[in-house]
Chain A
Amino acid sequence: MKAVVLAAGEGARMGPFTASEPKVMIPVGNKPILEHVVEALVENGIHDLVFVVGYRRERIQSHFEDGRKFNAHIEYTVQSKQLGTMHAVWEARELVRGPFLVANGSSLVDAQAVADLLGSGTAPALLIAESEAPEKYGVVSVSGHYVERITEKPRQPEGNLVNTGVYAFDPSVIPIMESLLGEGHYDLPSLLSALAAKTRVRAVRTKGTWMDALYPWDLLKLNAHVLNGIGDLQSGTIEKDVTLRGKVAIGEGSRIRSGTYVLGPAVIGRGCEIGPNVVVYPSTSIGDNVKLQAFTVLENSVVMDDVLVGPHSAISNSVIASGVRVASNLMASADKANAQVEGEWHVVDPLGALVGEDTEIRDGVVIEPGSVVGARCHIGPLSRVRGNVPNGTNVM
């Protein structure tokens, strides 16, 4: 069986984290979300994958290549205009022959979820899951084991079962897609509704994992979930008097200097320089080629690749994108916060700072909880940052 994986979107709601990277490539537990999806598919024996790519597709292609490293064979098809999810599957139509799965590259699923859908019998079928925020998704009304109707983003949801975006189809849907596209429908839920009107579409509930990252702070949840499943393979050089408790993975070529204290689950990438005397609390991911200098404390955060954090910094419940450089004494502590993304306000508890790629932060900066600092900003010494700072801003 093949799977069509949707990976063309930009993910505008992810704020500065999609400035140069598609949403599916944002790392949690030091692997792109898409890689976790690929693993779930491969574990279920689905090795032939079709990636529908678009926005910044080179980032995806140079990471996954032909799939060999992931025990998969990956073909790519380009969706030049991101019209919708059904249009994306349509773009892949010539690469699928028999029954196929559709998965979304930007929401985390585990092998169990895929297995539940596969084990349920014939297509068409839809994986559904409980959600705390059904109003953000397509709410699925079910009768028995079958889909009765899908209501997209209802103001007053009838239930909390939502469409996870993981489907099983067979090629008979392709002509139906064609006529729907002709009528100006571009999304998979329209296909589901059309199918449900004609035939029975199974709704499969899963006990496995389905977690979606709608907003940047959701990355912390996904990260913590993924870190629960890590092994504790440690490479690199670990100096004397380093304490590692719980599951801590350390990549090749990294050096952990004396006095550093790491409480797992935590993952440290390749070629890092940590310490001396750095403290890492759970659940923290530190990417490749990261340097954390003395007396810095990190807690429940995602730090991506090529980040440099100078001494005496405290970072909690924060997401720090690739290439961020902090001179020293950054205070990014967490509290109940009002955060704003794409004009909407959200209350998040607790939340620290969200900092976009390649931003330079000079000495002694305080970032207030819930602030979103854009990509390629320059934050001058002793600044206090509150609220949203657009990409490329110079804060003096």
Chain B
Amino acid sequence: MCGIIGYVGYRQALPILIDSLKRLEYRGYDSAGVAVVEDGVKIAKDKGYIANLEATLPKFTGVVGLGHTRWATHGPPSKENSHPFYDCKEKIALAHNGIIENYADLRDELKGRGHTFRSQTDTETIVHLVEELYDGNLEDAVRKALGRCTGTFAVTVVHADEPDKLVAARNFSPLVVGLGSDENYVASDIPALLKYTDRVLYIMDRELVVLRPRSVQILDFEGRPVTREPQRISWSLEDAERGGFEHFMLKEIHEQPQAIHNTLLGRMTEVDANGFFQNGFTGVKLLACGTSHHASLMGKYILEEIAKVPTTVELASEYRYAPIPTERPLVLLVSQSGETADTLGAAREAKRRGCKTLGITNVVGSSLTRETDRTMYTRAGLEIGVAATKTFTAQVVALFLVAIRMGLERGTLDPEDANRLRDELRALPRHVQSVLNRAEDIEALGRTLAGARDMFFLGRGIEYPAAMEGALKMKEISYIHAEAYAAGELKHGPLALLTPETPTVAVVPRDRNYEKMMSNIGEVNARGSPVLAIGTEGDKDLARFVDHVVYVPKVRDILYPISVSVVLQLFAYFAARKRGCTIDKPRNLAKTVTVE
């Protein structure tokens, strides 16, 4: 997920580097840095936003430079671990995307020969290797250095002794050269270049390129020149990123099988937090805001059923300012971005109250990871649509993993049950896929009901938070007023609002609450309100009592909310599309709420 940019030409490099890095900003990153050739090589870098870096930047005026944004996948973001890196003598600066697999051996070897390392990164080994192999010609040194590295990379390098030159190389990580007049660019992604040029040269695996203001030379890793024709880019940014989907939200809904794969990846046989859940608490408290709060509400049912630990859920914004009870539960903080101001505040408050804390977030190195004792990543990938979809289902899956580990460590879940549960989790991507395969039917329903002014969402047990999340999605993107009720509460008020003009969405899988839900549907029917039900495949009875049914695959009770949520996401999406809403950017809403 890192981004690389390089410039050689006649203009000041710094503004071009910063501007290009900003073009990759929306994809997320945790630190950024630049190196400019002037009186040697100058580096400025820091963790955090590019705007922060920009504010503290010295006024470099050099005309050759490189920049980098890092999105940490391993290890924390910090100034030391940010790119670019210097060699020992601070004459070379290098930035890198990818992973050097044999870096540990190389590092030991280089340290043995007296090199001093300033960071924990694999990248820094490359710059010291280049330093050692440098003999007056940068491309030779880079070529030889990379010959000794195994792994994936795209690198950019500048040297103080060859001030009009920038060398870049690639193996598996993307790299493209942009051609200007008397100036040239290199970047990991075309969008970073499009403002400056539409003529590009694609660099292939195991190739190296030497950029000067008036020349670009491509070489293979044996040093032989390669000829390549420039290509003209004829597309715009926005369209490209959506990859054929009408909206990011739809793209992200369809990415859910893959996101769940990634959340489960490597965790079915072991969970990172070994021994963490064994003792030190008698109950669990989940704190979150918005959609993450709904995932947490599901987490209550999941933790209580699997790990058999009493669990409460609170809104982070309420917990922060509430009076302090004497108990010390384990506190789980759930935030997609890890930057939600109220959740961060709640994490600090929980610590102040002496509680053990675990953060669940999607963004590596986010602030939440520093405010909690342990972190679990949901690994759903970057989400651009403001309405959370794949990051929500990934949070719920992560809570299952926590519950299984907690149950095993506390001896409340027997290993055989844990095994069965894991096999059922493995099937989740398929269940989600089977809902996605029915998208056309759900689209028809979304269009049919898009004219409503109000809607009600009903569920019982763990399907109640699923109904709440469904209602939230509907409100957020279609602007239809939607309210969720625990179905048992119908007769305590909302029945008065039901009319033939207010459709009701009922979540009615064949679970332990089925009979009760059916009688609630009877109450709704009596008011003439059209009912859309979400039921279990093969439940033929249901169709006789409601107007429309969408089926989800049969699973154990607490696993239903995953596929149910996907149905409700698609339903909200298609209703909003029919209404012509700006789905990816709903009015008055921001992806990450960093204010209270």
Would you call A212 an interface residue if the criterion is a C-beta within 8 Å of the partner chain's C-beta atoms?
no
Q: Of the 9-residue stretches B303-311, B365-373, B429-437, which lies at the interface with chain A?
A: B429-437
Would you call A315 an interface residue if the criterion is a C-beta within 8 Å of the partner chain's C-beta atoms?
no
List chain A residues, Cβ under 8 A from B429.
289, 305-306
Query: Nearest chain B CB to A45's CB is how many angstroms away?
Result: 7
What are 11 sample pairs from A and B whose C-beta atoms fall under 8 A apart?
Answer: A56-B437, A66-B240, A71-B202, A73-B190, A253-B266, A271-B264, A271-B265, A289-B261, A289-B265, A306-B429, A358-B430
List chain B residues, Cβ under 8 A from A237.
269
Would you call B174 an interface residue if the criterion is a C-beta within 8 Å of the partner chain's C-beta atoms?
yes
Contact A289 B426 (CB under 8 A): yes
List chain A residues, Cβ under 8 A from B258.
62
Render A314-328 as a binary contact track against B, CB cut-off 8 A, 1 for contact.
000000001101000
Output the residue of A47, A51, A252 with the most chain B CB within 10 A: A47
List chain B residues, Cβ under 8 A from A65.
243, 251
Query: B residues bordering A, Cβ < 8 Å?
Result: 174, 189-190, 202, 204, 228-229, 231, 233-235, 239-245, 251, 254-255, 258, 261, 264-269, 423, 426-427, 429-430, 433-434, 436-437, 439
Query: Nearest chain A CB to B154's CB is how many angstroms away?
Result: 11
Bound together, the chains give a CA A56 to CA B189 distance in angstroms of: 28
Would you call A74 an interface residue if the criterion is a C-beta within 8 Å of the partner chain's C-beta atoms?
yes
Contact B202 A45 (CB under 8 A): yes
Bound together, the chains give a CA A258 to CA B263 distance in angstroms of: 25
Contact A358 B434 (CB under 8 A): yes
Whether A288 contacts B439 in the complex (CB less than 8 A), given A47-B202, A61-B251, comes out as no
Would you call A232 an interface residue if the criterion is a C-beta within 8 Å of the partner chain's C-beta atoms?
no
Given contacts A20-B437, A61-B251, 16 further A-B contacts (CB under 8 A): A51-B244, A58-B245, A58-B254, A66-B243, A74-B243, A74-B244, A75-B235, A97-B234, A252-B265, A254-B266, A271-B265, A289-B261, A289-B265, A306-B430, A322-B430, A322-B433
A window 298-319: CB within 8 A of B: 305-306, 308
The number of A-B residue pairs with CB atoms under 8 Å apart is 102
Which residue from A75, A308, A322, A357 sits with its C-beta under 8 Å from B423? Answer: A308
Bound together, the chains give a CA A67 to CA B240 distance in angstroms of: 9
Render A28-68 as a binary contact track against B, CB cut-off 8 A, 1 for contact.
00000000000000010101100101001110111011111
Would you call A368 an interface residue if the criterion is a C-beta within 8 Å of the partner chain's C-beta atoms?
no
Contact B269 A325 (CB under 8 A): no
Contact A68 B174 (CB under 8 A): yes
Whether A271 contacts B266 in the complex (CB less than 8 A), given A45-B202, A62-B254, A306-B426, comes out as yes
Query: Nearest chain A CB to B430's CB is how many angstroms away?
Result: 4
Contact A76 B243 (CB under 8 A): yes
Whether A61 contacts B244 in the complex (CB less than 8 A), given A20-B437, A291-B426, comes out as yes
List chain A residues, Cβ under 8 A from B243.
61-62, 64-67, 74, 76
Query: Nearest chain B CB to A94's CB is how many angstroms away?
Result: 11
Q: CB-nearest residue of chain B relative to A74?
A: B243
List chain A residues, Cβ under 8 A from B231.
47-48
Contact A58 B436 (CB under 8 A): yes
Query: Nearest chain B CB to A114's CB is how many angstroms away?
Result: 14
Would you call A255 an interface residue if the criterion is a C-beta within 8 Å of the partner chain's C-beta atoms?
yes
Whether A20 contacts B264 in the complex (CB less than 8 A), given A61-B244, A61-B251, comes out as no
Contact A66 B241 (CB under 8 A): yes
Contact B251 A62 (CB under 8 A): yes
Whether A61 contacts B423 in the complex (CB less than 8 A), given A73-B240, A255-B269, comes out as no
Bound together, the chains give a CA A270 to CA B268 distance in angstroms of: 12
Would you call A189 an interface residue if the criterion is a C-beta within 8 Å of the partner chain's C-beta atoms?
no
Contact A308 B245 (CB under 8 A): no
Query: Nearest chain A CB to B266's CB is how many angstroms away?
Result: 3
Contact B244 A76 (CB under 8 A): yes
Render A246-289 as a binary contact track against B, CB cut-off 8 A, 1 for contact.
00000011110000000000000011010000000000000011
List chain A residues, Cβ under 8 A from B241.
66
Contact B437 A271 (CB under 8 A): no
List chain B residues, Cβ under 8 A from A66.
240-243
Q: CB-nearest residue of chain A relative to B429?
A: A306
Contact B261 A271 (CB under 8 A): yes
List chain A residues, Cβ under 8 A from B202.
45, 47, 71
Contact B251 A20 (CB under 8 A): no
Output the residue of B202, B235, B243, B434 with the most chain A CB within 10 A: B243
Contact A57 B244 (CB under 8 A): yes
Bound together, the chains give a CA A114 to CA B174 distance in angstroms of: 22
Q: CB-nearest residue of chain A relative to B258?
A: A62
Would you call A236 an interface residue if the criterion is a C-beta within 8 Å of the partner chain's C-beta atoms?
yes
List chain B residues, Cβ under 8 A from A323.
427, 430, 433
Q: CB-nearest residue of chain B relative to A51?
A: B244
Query: Nearest chain A CB to B263's CB is how many angstroms away?
Result: 10
Contact B189 A68 (CB under 8 A): yes
Contact A308 B426 (CB under 8 A): yes
List chain A residues, Cβ under 8 A from B233.
73
Bound together, the chains give a CA A135 to CA B338 distance in angstroms of: 61
Contact A71 B244 (CB under 8 A): no
Contact B427 A45 (CB under 8 A): no
List chain B residues, Cβ under 8 A from A64.
243
